[in-house]
Amino acid sequence: MHKLRVGIVGCGNIFPMHAISIKKNDQLDLVAICDIKKDRVEKEAKRFETKAYDDYETMLKEAKLDVVHICTPHYLHAPMTVLAAEHHVHVLTEKPMAIHVDDAKKMIEACESHQVTLGVIFQNRYNKGAAFLKDVLMKGKLGKIKSAKCQVTWDRSDDYYMRSDWKGTWDKEGGGAVIDQAIHTLDLMRWFVDDEIDYIDASIANRVHLKIDVEDTAEGLIQFKNGVRANFHVINYNTMDSPVTIELHCENGIAKYTDGLAEITYTDTSKEIVGADPRERLDYGDVKSYWGVSHIKQISDFYQTLKEKKKPVIDGNEALVTQKIVNAIYESGKTHKKVYL
Ligand SMILES: NC(=O)c1ccc[n+]([C@@H]2O[C@H](COP(=O)([O-])OP(=O)(O)OC[C@H]3O[C@@H](n4cnc5c(N)ncnc54)[C@H](O)[C@@H]3O)[C@@H](O)[C@H]2O)c1
């Protein structure tokens, strides 16, 4: 059977989650990887027995890729997707889709006009607890959601930012705690609520960090058109990565989601609890545990839909909604006004 020829651009922190997920799929061939840091790409090419490139366009021209995974800094996601589409290569990009909504729309347009597929990684939707809670909500067991709230209180020190040549900047990262860390939780919360957004009213600040100009704090309200008020609280100056929490107050009970564990308490006091299965653990090497085990699930799902010529579950249009939330939080935080979507 013909194996799909896959490439990855960006061999940094998140690279192993993609490379290992591709290697474990016997329908895929990791034929090329690319990074401007030559030592890095050559080391990884040896480890994964593939060809190294230090120039993205050359990889696209020479490697005859079917699909490219984009694992580079945020500001490169849009131009790299457009270039891949022009070379008729399907794209699976890491979150966030882009820095600005306009760039995200250009990505969608380019992929549509060149008839290639665009997928965006939000792997936490594939966590067991998240998928279970979504299923319960869709089946109507909890009734309507009345309100929602989420909290992301993590530790990203000035040193963390100083170790990166792009994080902590508006032009390359596109923001701080919201676009990079809290984006996963905001995406989950709006996926659970599953309605159109009316407006966002938010504040952002840098309260603690000395060496970055992006926000380390954000709080606010996402007002959905169905009346649900979803509140968020985000900081990057906690002294530890506290468990991420989402709480949904529903007609028939309360759902709590804590770092992948879903706990539902129905109004009749019965409970359902679903969390990660420890047998699912996959050794991605030296990567952070909260990135979870779900990259491989989303990546195999992406390829399954590609094979079936269907659109991926999280395609460009789906990810665009979360991009709009992120950008509206920033606009509202900067203008001190409600931003209507
Ligand atoms: N889904 C998740 O849970 C998760 C977790 C971590 C990171 N990420 C995302 O993954 C992406 C990468 O983050 P990271 O932490 O791995 O960053 P990183 O800085 O560790 O790695 C980025 C790599 O891209 C390379 N690069 C930069 N410009 C390039 C270019 N023009 N051509 C080729 N390579 C280039 C850099 O040299 C670097 O090796 C970001 O979008 C980030 O938000 C997602």
220-251 confidence digits (pLDDT tens): 999 999 999 999 999 999 999 999 999 999 99
Cα(215) to centroid of ligand 1, in Å? 20
Mutational pocket test of ligand 1: of 71, 83, 172, 326, the residue with most ligand atoms within 8 Å of the beta carbon: 71
Residue whose CA is closest, atom 25 of ligand 1?
10
Q: Are 275 and 260 in contact (CB under 8 A)?
A: yes
Q: Whole-angstrom Cα distance, residue 112 to residue 263? A: 40
CATH number of the 124-287+314-340 domain: 3.30.360.10
Contact 13 CB / ligand 1 (< 6 Å): yes
- Output the pLDDT for position 276: 74
Mutational pocket test of ligand 1: of 14, 165, 173, the residue with most ligand atoms within 8 Å of the beta carbon: 14
- Output the pLDDT for position 293: 76
DSSP 204-248: EE--S-SS--S-SEEEEEEEETTS-EEEEEEESBSSS-PPPEEEE
Contact 10 CB / ligand 1 (< 6 Å): yes
Nearest-atom index, ligand 1, CA of 295: 1
Domain parsing of the chain, residue ranges:
4-123, 124-287+314-340
55-86 confidence digits (pLDDT tens): 999 999 999 999 999 999 999 999 999 999 99
Contact 35 CB / ligand 1 (< 6 Å): yes
Integer CA distances (angstroms), 20 to 108, 112, 268, 297, 300, in order: 27, 29, 45, 12, 12
Under-70 pLDDT residues of the chain: 1, 277-292
Q: Are 84 and 68 in contact (CB under 8 A)?
A: yes
Query: Would you say the CATH fold of 124-287+314-340 matches that of 4-123?
Result: no
Fold of 4-123: Rossmann fold (3.40.50)
Mutational pocket test of ligand 1: of 43, 55, 72, the residue with most ligand atoms within 8 Å of the beta carbon: 72
Cα(87) to centroid of ligand 1, in Å? 22
Q: Are 255 and 264 in contact (CB under 8 A)?
A: yes
Cα(147) to centroid of ligand 1, in Å? 35
Contact 73 CB / ligand 1 (< 6 Å): yes
CB neighbours of 155 closer than 8 A, spacing ≥ 6? Answer: 236, 237, 238, 239, 240, 241
Cα(113) to centroid of ligand 1, in Å? 27
- Output the pLDDT for position 227: 97
Q: Whole-angstrom Cα distance, residue 6 to residue 265? A: 44
